[in-house]
Amino acid sequence: MNEGEAPAGAPAEKAQNPAGRGGEEGGADPRLNAARSDPLGDARSETDAIAANQAYQSFQRSVTAAGPIGIVGGASISGGFHIHGGAGQSKTVAAGVVRAELLTEIDTWYVPAPADAELRSTLRERQLVVLGGPGGSGRTTTGLKLLSEFAAGNVSRFEVAAGLGELASVDLAPKHGYLCELPAGGVRHSEVELDVFAARLGESKSFCILVMPADTPVRAVGDYVREHAAPAPMAILKRRFEAAAGLPEFTGPEAAAVLAAAREDPELLALLGTMSGPADEVWLAELVLRVASGALDRAVALQAGGELLDRHIAGWLAQLPQGVDLQRHREQVETFALRLALAVFNDSPADLVCEAGERLAWELFTTANPRLAPGRTVFRPLDDGRLAASRARLREGAVTFADATVPARLLSFQDDRLAVRLLARAWIGRPNLRRPILRWLQDLSQDPRPDIWMRAALAIGLLTGWDFAYLQHEAIGAWAASESAKQRLVAATALDQAAREPAVQAAVAGLVKAWARSDVDTLKWTAAAVLGYDAGTRNVTTALRDLQRIGVWKDGELVSIASDCVAELFARGRCDEVLAATETWIGDARLDEHWLGLLTVLRIADLRVRQVPNIADLPLSGGAKAQLAQARFEDWPLMVAMAQFDRRFGALLAECVWQVLSSALAADVMRDELGEWIRAAERSSTLLTPLTRFLVLLIDDEDDQARLLDLVDVLATDPDDPLDPGIVRPIQTAVLLGRAFLNDTVEIGR
């Protein structure tokens, strides 16, 4: 017997058997004991189902934002940007004299940074500046600009592997400017060492700017260290366009008009997305100018939107240490781990992302050295420097907890496209990362928090779509047959995500079909869970046929999970097909098929509007869907909501509910569900009239009328929680009027 299902003949945790209406305890068919319970309850907390759905939808937004992905050097996944199989090292400038043309170009297009005046003053007084600040803020350009001014254009660049000690043997030319970028993880120089080097500069009347590793915290200002900040957003882009207007190729009237049109082209400007650093603006300016000059076709330029993101990602990966002693490069490893955690948990609570990043860093450290027990960097802040380095931002938001929302500080990439592209580049370009990443995600997928396990499961699915053979062998196949319901649910969630990739849809469909028709209960359970996701909507006829096969297997052993997943297909917009299948099952003379139909109706009746994954998928009019998306409809029964906005669905759903109410097998459970609907009307004044209309549709004769009146009377006389008289009277009146009541009310949206 697999987890998550109630054994035949044994009561489930939420079994209900109202006194006086079902005989003695256990007198009804045992399968009713689980009719109102969650068959996935052992895999997830019932109160977390909505939070898991929120995490599911949030992850899909990141995947959609990334656009189609293609991988060069591996299996082609789909058209779009490409992840090249090369080393991906960032471009570096060799040490030596800086060309005069480059300095002239910088002088022409330069936009003053906010701290320029302070930097000039320090350079004039000390002849040495140690320049900190976020990467991509234009520190190198500012350094070259200032040195060119102070050294009359005589500027050189140096590369050092460790620190200033390497410059001791360098002969400093008189009245010369030197730009030196200090290496990440290198030696931190004391004030005394800087004084000694500044004295050497003074002797030769030279100047030097030392650029600190990107995003290194500036712990103390001191006499030499200064913080750099980028110019105002879009200032560099504007300045580059203004400078280009004076170039010979744009001086004629026609060429000037082309340039003016290109610099205002909204589609070209949109390529920048939310990336507004100096380097990003320079990239866009060069792209637009190439289009304006005719060197680049506009249509081709519009396909380059992902190139900017890929440049950043390539730079991040180039910072990773190549040796096995990762502890010596702890900061780079932890920064990469935070970025990759954000790729999986984009737009999630900041503490959750940081925790996941630390867990990944631990996995990476222990992979490199299994005997190592790395500690945590306890006091490292999530400051502006770390956020800027990862192109991330904090914002105030909310997360779902049970049926309510609570405020939270959310961490996300500035550009949502970064998430999937970074994960793809790391997985495909760094093969040795695969196993630690997978172990990390598998560990996270067993976390009880829905924000964590759902995102991790979907990330595994994304990787499965790119690398099906590896993930199926390493994770999916074993977890689908696991005795752990949580592991089976993660495997199902991952396969649903993988099935979104066209290249592997057929493989996923074949796998699920084989599981659905096997004789292994755990595999059949997992197949049902997959079919209840979007994967089942792609061929709903086949999905319903397989769910029927699962639901009637071994006298209905898996009918609970099968009926729940059929209801999920209804919530995902396949309403006509589900109702047609359900009507057929209810009318089937075979008991197992009949049970499947009854329980499916009960599952659909238990759905609320807030449980619909995407309101846009429902087969309703645009106006109806716009209204249902409003918060006031969240607690409405989905059946009542659909009946309110579509008369045809109202008739079909009422017929299904009537069939269950008329069945001695399931009438009591359906009656309890109607009681929950009526209780919901106490909390939502707008629900009362639509609910009453639906109840009236359930009346065919006096017996139906008496049944509803009795239900209202039981609720009204409940000694612990009597129903509000303001709810009782309208329902009683409508039930007594019967069908005549329908002619006196007007539907919302009609």
Question: Each residue of 538-587: pLDDT tens digit?
Answer: 999 999 999 999 999 999 999 999 999 999 999 999 999 999 999 999 99
Q: Residues 10-19: pLDDT tens digits? A: 333 333 333 3
What average pLDDT score do residues 605-632 get?
Answer: 93
- Express the helix, strand and coil content of the chain in percent, nearest 5 each: 60, 5, 35
CA atoms of 690 and 639, how far apart (whole Å): 10
Q: Residues 113-150: pLDDT tens digits? A: 898 999 999 999 999 999 988 777 888 999 999 999 99
CA atoms of 368 and 436, how far apart (whole Å): 10
Q: Residues 441-450: pLDDT tens digits? A: 999 999 988 8
Q: What is the mean pLDDT of the chain?
A: 84
What average pLDDT score do residues 352-363 get?
Answer: 94
Copy the structure tokens of residue 491: 């495997």
pTM of this prediction?
0.81
pLDDT value, residue 750: 30
Q: Quick one: which of 249, 241, 242, 245 has its CA closest to 294?
A: 249
86 pLDDT exceeds 70? no
| 226 within 8 A of 118, measured Cβ to Cβ | yes
Which residue is listed with tokens 């096997």? 518
CA atoms of 416 and 423, how far apart (whole Å): 12
